[in-house]
Amino acid sequence: MRKFLRVVKNLILLALLVVSGIMIYRPLREFHVVERLRYGLGGMGEQGWEEIARQEGTASSAEEYYYGQLSDDLKEVYRELYVRIMRYEDAGPVFAQVNLDDFWKVYYGVLNDHPEIFWLGASAQVSESSLTGHIVSYEFESIVPSEIRDDLREELEDAADLCVNRIDPYASDYEKIKFVYEYIIDQTEYGDAARPDSQNIQSVLLNRKSVCAGYSRAFQYILHRCGMFCTYLTGKIADGGDHGWNMVRLDGNYYFVDVTWGDPVFVNQEEGTSGDSSARGINYNYLCCTAGDLYKTHIPDERVALPPCDRDDYNYYKLNNCYFETFSYDTVYSYLMNSVWNGEESAVLKFGSREAFEQAETEMFEGKLLNDAAQYLMQINGVSRWNYRYHTDDDFYVITLYWYS
Domain stops at, among 143, 166, 187: 143
Indicate whether 152 and 139 sit together in one domain: no
Closest Cα to residue 304, out of 214, 232, 212? Answer: 232
For residues 380 and 366, what is the distance between their CA atoms, to the nearest angstrom? 24
Chain segment 213-227, per-residue pLDDT in tens = 999 999 999 999 999
Query: What pLDDT does 232 receive?
Result: 98
Confidence of residue 379 (pLDDT cuts 50, 70, 90): confident
The pLDDT of residue 110 is: 98
Distances (CA, A) of 118 to 24, 108, 111, 157: 37, 13, 9, 12
Domain identity same for 156 and 296: yes
Q: Are 112 and 70 in contact (CB under 8 A)?
A: no
Same domain as 104, residue 59 = yes
Q: What is the CA radius of gyration of the chain?
A: 26
- 237-250: per-residue pLDDT in tens? 988 789 999 999 99
User: Are residues 138 and 156 part of one domain?
Assistant: no
Same domain, 229 and 330: no
Same domain for 135 and 183 = no
Of the chain, the end-to-end C-alpha distance in Å amounts to 80
- Over residues 282-295, mean pLDDT: 95
Question: CB-side exposure of 304: number of CA atoms within 13 Å?
Answer: 21
pLDDT value of residue 6: 53
Sheet holding 120-128, edge to edge: 91-93, 135-142, 120-128
Q: Is the pLDDT of residue 348 over 70?
A: yes
Number of compact structural domains in the chain: 3
Q: Are residues 139 and 164 in the same domain?
A: no
Q: Which of 315, 348, 370 is the last residue of a domain?
A: 315
Render pLDDT for 67-115 as a digit per residue (tens, 0 to 9): 999 999 999 999 999 999 999 999 999 999 999 999 999 999 999 999 9
In a shared domain, residues 211 and 167: yes
Domain that holds residue 338: 323-404
178 and 253 together in one domain: yes
> Rounded CA gap, 242 and 333, in Å?
41
**Do both 135 and 173 map to the same domain?**
no
pLDDT exceeds cutoff 80 at 269: no
Closest CA to 10 of 46, 37, 49: 37
Where residue 280 sits, what CATH number does that domain have?
A: 3.10.620.30
Q: Please name every residue paired with 59 in a beta bridge, in sequence order, or none if there are none.
A: none
**pLDDT at res. 377:** 67
Residues 118, 155 within the same domain: no
Domain-terminating residue out of 261, 292, 315: 315
Report percent pLDDT > 70 for the chain.
83
Does one domain contain both 139 and 152? no
Q: Is the pTM of this model over 0.85?
A: yes
Highest average pLDDT, of 67-71, 273-277, 389-393, comes from 67-71
- pLDDT-derived band at 375 (thresholds 50, 70, 90) equals confident
CA dist., res. 149 & res. 134, Å (int): 31
